[in-house]
Amino acid sequence: MLILFGLSSSVGASPFLECDPYGPDSLQPTAFEVTVNGRSERVAPLTHPDGSAYLRYDLKDLSDGEHTIKVKALNDVGRTESVEVIRKVQRRGEVFSLLSAPEAKDVIAPSRSYRGYIKQ
């Protein structure tokens, strides 16, 4: 499993942490583990009409300042998990910024296990 994520928001809404969808033919996550500043929680994936699963995590409760967010995808049935992805996010009022970009070691070429790249 592979995690690709960034920030998104709708007009007038708080931003969300999102990952690219896992295609319907790939191993689907049964949950995501999201850790914000050391506090972990399991988040159920959302599903597109085509069956692809993705993460959408609301960041509205983050206080102003810098925050470390760690995410990994889990598949409880196959007992597998993705590599943990770590990013730093800054909030100043209603403005959210992604402070850390993927490092070279976070980029994974396609293979039989992974169907793509980590990208920003």
Contacts 24+ apart (CB under 8 A), 3-7: 3/55, 3/71, 3/72, 3/73, 3/82, 3/83, 3/85, 3/118, 4/116, 4/117, 4/118, 4/119, 5/55, 5/71, 5/85, 5/87, 6/98, 6/120, 7/59, 7/89, 7/96, 7/98
pTM: 0.72
Instruction: Print pLDDT tens along the chain (120 aa).
Output: 444 445 554 444 568 888 888 888 888 889 999 999 999 999 999 998 988 888 989 888 889 999 999 998 888 776 777 888 888 888 898 888 888 765 555 555 554 444 444 433
Which domains does the chain show, CATH number per domain?
Answer: 5-106 (2.60.40)
